[in-house]
Chain A
Amino acid sequence: MGKLTIGCFSSLVGSMSLDFAVKLAGAAVEKGHKVDFWVSGNATMLSIKGQRAFKDYSALQKPLQELMGKGLTITACEACAEARGYHKDITMEGFKRHSMDWYLASTFDADRVLHIGGE
């Protein structure tokens, strides 16, 4: 099985890029691949806990928690999150926070790097 590193910069609400990236990560995890998922910029919104699912907005907390239970590693850019007021105490359980070098380190032994989105 391979290793996939996915980076996404698009916000949870206002773009479907993050939805696509999470679906793609899910498909890879289901096939048995290792997936490292990095969110920075506006995509750090994904890390906030207590997201309420409305039908008019993307709702990714539940599928994300299921994927984390299946081995998905997901990490938010700490500086990008802090700049937006997304502090550690409101971060979803299991969601890691690191500096940008974590993402680059993950690419080191990745078979594929997919960099998705950005407004």
Chain B
Amino acid sequence: MATTKLGFIIQRAGYKCENPKLALTHSIASQSVEVYLNDGDLVTADIAFVGDGVLNCLKNQKAMERYGLTSTESHIKNGLLLDLNILVCKEDLEMLGLSEKDIVMDAEEFGADMTTKVVPFADITKMMEQVNHLLFF
């Protein structure tokens, strides 16, 4: 039995490029990875939004209404539902004039217990040190 920890670092804003959505869909795929592994082996995914990437976390996104696309907000909520550890850089939020009240902090309507964590960059650095592999998006 072993666990490989992956850290998904999202640094680009959403919609203009596919990276943030790919990061979220790949990290969510950690929930079904066992089909390829031996019993008891796991791959876990932690997600951190940094830099312009924090803009992906804005709430009340209208991607479905405007473009017929699942919003990045909805993917984040699915991540919370699946108990993924989702971190948002506090300093980068503040740089953009944003705070917890502007972003997706929970997914109660999905039935998720997990919440988004707004943390100093130092905590994101700690997460990056603790994972086996980092993937930058």
| Residues 115-133 of chain B, each 1 if its beta carbon lies under 8 Å from chain A, else 0 | 0000000000000000011
Is B30 engaged at the interface, CB distance under 8 Å to the other chain?
yes
Q: How far is the CA of A115 from the CA of B23 in the complex (A)?
A: 11
Q: How far is the CA of A101 from the CA of B6 in the complex (A)?
A: 13
| Residues 105-119 of chain A, each 1 if its beta carbon lies under 8 Å from chain B, else 0 | 101111011010011
Is B113 engaged at the interface, CB distance under 8 Å to the other chain?
no
Q: Are B43 and A108 in contact (CB under 8 A)?
A: yes
Chain A binder among B14-22, B60-68, B79-87, B99-107: B14-22
Q: How far is the CA of A1 from the CA of B98 in the complex (A)?
A: 48
| Interface of B, helix, strand, loop or mixed by DSSP | mixed
Question: Within the complex, which residue of B2, B18, B133 is in contact with A113, where a contact is CB–CB below 8 Å?
Answer: B133
Q: How far is the CA of A77 from the CA of B136 in the complex (A)?
A: 18
Q: How far is the CA of A101 from the CA of B35 in the complex (A)?
A: 9
Which of under 10, 10 to 19, 20 to 34, or 35 or more describes the interface residues of A?
20 to 34
Q: Are A42 and B18 in contact (CB under 8 A)?
A: yes
Is B135 engaged at the interface, CB distance under 8 Å to the other chain?
yes
| Interface of A, helix, strand, loop or mixed by DSSP | mixed
Q: What is the minimal beta-carbon distance from B84 to any residue of chain A, in angstroms? A: 12
Q: Are A119 and B29 in contact (CB under 8 A)?
A: no
Question: Within the complex, which residue of A40, A101, A112, A115 is in contact with B136, where a contact is CB–CB below 8 Å?
Answer: A115
- Given A107-B43, A113-B6, output 7 extra A-B contacts at Cβ < 8 Å: A104-B29, A105-B33, A105-B36, A105-B43, A108-B36, A115-B135, A119-B19
Q: What residues of chain B have their CB less than 8 Å away from a CB belonging to chain A?
A: 2, 4, 6, 12, 17-19, 22, 25-26, 29-30, 32-33, 35-37, 41, 43, 45, 132-137
